[in-house]
Structure 1
Amino acid sequence: MSLAPSLRAVRRRARSLGRGDRIFLTVIIGIPLAALLLFVWLPALASLALSFTTWDGIELADIHWIGLENYQEIFTNYPPLWPAVQHNVIWLLFTALLPTPFGIFLAYQLDRRIRFTKIYQTAIFLPMVLSLAVVGFIWEIIYNPDTGLLNGILNATGTGHHIDWLGNADLNLWAVLVASAWRHTGYIMILYLAGLKGFDPALKEAAALDGANGRQTFLRVVFPALKPVNIIILVVTVMESLRAFDIVYVLGGGVGSKPGMELLSLLITDNIIGESSHIGYGSALAVILLLVSLAAIGTFLVQTIRKEAQ
């Protein structure tokens, strides 16, 4: 069948748009596109350019081209970088192994139409409505060593003592991970619950007739069938782990990473807006983080597309 008639129909329909329609389309497409260019792509390109320079962030005339020296410094003088990389890897593994599966488990349970499902959904998803900064302030109150809820519960049960959850370098990263997981679980639950709502219930019934129990039905029927949702969840989990900043910034007390809380995002911020401004060095770190993110997500998506094509 020739596509010529359909293409001609599209052209006629486009020509039939009035001036008001064209202005409306230009506005609704142009404004988001301009915002994307202004707030995403231009800063990204500026960071790429500044990563090859040295600059104190005050006078434009003080920008000096130094080539790859910032990247050489990162990989030769790497002690500040290594703890941040380690903690980002821990963040990724923790998020992928605990709150993400737990969110999927909650979604599967709530999809079974138990009593008070809507109440449970609202309660679990509520932290997602809050920004990460607000979540950080809430957990800062919970972790307060003197008046915090957590120490209060431990003291009331007689099993705890004065614990500085955010000041102890051996505990503070895990405390922040728990706070982040509280929010992340609700997000994953809603994503997976949306996928389950579009799942064909006849497949579950067929699996039940074949003698499969609930766990077998989920692992062998439901989970493989929701592959597009699984890909989205994996991408979201990786991106959330790599760009973790807000909640650590709040719980860590602002610029200047506490020992045990070092992350790549905080290291970038410390170098760009910290007391000793090294914008070129911080921009080089930002470029590396961007490349790592693109490599991780791009590799997975390419492999997935290839499998689907085969």
Structure 2
Amino acid sequence: MAVRTRRYSARDMTVLVIGLGVAVIVNLGLIWAPTLASIGLSGTDWNGIGPIEWVGGQNYHDLSAEYPPFWSAVRNNLLWLGFLGLVATPFGLFCAVLLDRRLRLSRVYQSALYMPVVLSLAVVGFIAQLVYSSDYGVLNAVTGLTVDWLGDSSVNIWVVMVAAAWRHVGYVMIIYLAGLKAVDPALKEAAAIDGANERQSFFRVVFPTLRPVNVIVLVITVIEALRAFDIVYAINKGRNGLELLSVLVTENIVGEASRIGFGSAIAVILLAISLGFIVTYLSQLFREER
């Protein structure tokens, strides 16, 4: 029996071209064009008004040698990434596994855990001030302590990461919960028949099937950690121990002393760090699948 191939009419091709064309143009205009512009501007000295002066790698040299906030920001971003990846993400997976067992009032728990996700990090920052403030904070009032949680540069990054993780856990939980719902129950039954306990069944049977979900969670975690800006800016404008690369980019590009080339160099480094994590993991994943 001959297989009929569908022929697209001129109208279908027009709709297809317009639909793809708009998406490609928007993607190029809003993502790739600013990215390439930042890479080019990172080698210049420009205040946004005067002539552009090419300085090559001078901005990167000044960042590493003559700009102390830079290394503090790099450390804080890596701490942020490590905390979300090693603490918040596993806890979100743990919550998803518990809710997948259809506990009593699981819908209530799921809603409570997911509720912070609907809040922006700026709102989470204001909530963190209500909790951690040394003057009117709930934590000091309940415990009787007098710790300046947000003003002490040795502890404020940790308490802010806890606040950010509060939101991240719900996001990860709902993604893993959707992945667990899609796992074939026959796999668990076969593992149980083979004598595997619940722990062995999860790590040897269920978790390997969640590999596509793990990729999504990894990308989300890296993006969340490296683009963090709202919460620290809402607390103290990203200063006194809360320096982040995103804050330094904003301060140098749209701050009082506009240094667009210098800020673009920080943005390029932020891009390189994020791509480094994502590309390394994806390359290993694709190599294993081959």
Calculate the TM-score normalised by the size of structure 1: 0.86
User: What is aligned with 1:123?
Assistant: 112
Tell me what 2:78 maps to: 89
Q: Which residue of the other structure, out of 23, 34, 37, is the alignment partner of 2:28?
A: 37
> Which residue identity lines up with residue 133 of structure 2 in the other structure?
N
Distance across 2 between alignment mates of 1:36 and 1:219: 39
Secondary structure of the structure 2 residue equivalent to 1:80: helix
Identity %: 54
- The amino acid that maps onto 2:101 is R
Q: 1:301 aligns with which of 278, 282, 287?
A: 282
* In structure 1, distance between residues paired with 2:104 and 2:18: 46
Q: Distance in 2 between matches of 1:98 and 1:85?
A: 19
Question: How many Å separate the matches in 2 of 1:118 and 1:27?
Answer: 43
User: What's the CA shift string for 1:277-296, capped at 9, x where partnerless?
Assistant: 22111101111111221122
Contact 1:136 1:251 in 2 (8 A): yes
Unmatched runs of 5 consecutive residues or more in structure 2: none
Instruction: Report deviation, 1:222.
Output: 1.0
**What's 2:272 paired with?**
291
Count of residues paired in the alignment: 289
2:259 pairs, out of 273, 278, 287, with 278
Match of 1:173 in 2: 157
SS at match of 2:175: helix
The root-mean-square deviation of aligned C-alpha atoms, in Å, is: 2.0
Shift of 1:216: 1.8
SS of the equivalent of 2:147 reads: coil
Per-residue Cα deviation, 1:150-193 (whole angstroms, up to 9, x for no partner)? 22222xxxxx3222221111111011101100000001001101
Per-residue CA shift, 1:56-80, capped at 9, x if unaligned?
A: 22x2x43222222112222333533
Query: Counterpart of 1:193?
Result: 177
Assess if the C-alpha contact under 8 Å between 1:188 and 1:233 holds in 2: yes
What SS does structure 2 have at the residue aligned with 1:47? helix
Query: Match of 1:163?
Result: 147
Q: Give the equivalent residue in structure 2 for 1:157.
A: none
Q: Which runs of no fewer than 5 residues in structure 1 stay unpaired?
A: 155-159
What's the counterpart of residue 99 of structure 2? Answer: 110
Distance 2:13 2:230 in 1: 40
What is residue 41 of structure 2 aligned with on the other side?
Answer: 50
CA contact (8 A) 1:55 1:280 kept: yes
Q: Does 1:226 align with 2:210?
A: yes
1:77 corresponding residue in structure 2: 66
Match of 1:99 among 88, 91, 107: 88
Alpha-carbon distance change, 162 to 89 in structure 1, aligned in 2, over 3 angstroms? same
Partner deviation per Cα, 1:188-222 (whole Å, 9 max, x = no partner): 00110111011011111122223322222211111
The answer for the alignment partner of 1:217 in structure 2 is 201
CA-CA distance at 1:87 after TM superposition: 1.1
2:225 to 241, 257, 267: 241
- Per-residue CA deviation, residues 233-255 of structure 1 (Å, 9 max, x unaligned), is 12221221122112121122x3x
Which deviations, in whole Å up to 9, do the C-alpha atoms of 1:100-154 show, x marking residues without a partner? 0000000011001111111111111111112222222222222222222222222
Superposition TM-score, scaled by structure 2 size? 0.92
The CA deviation at 1:23 is 5.9
Conserved in 2, the CA contact under 8 Å of 1:176 and 1:251? no
Contact kept, 8 Å, 1:107 with 1:189, in 2: the verdict is: yes
Report how far residue 39 of structure 1 moved. 2.3
Tell me the equivalent position of 1:141: 130
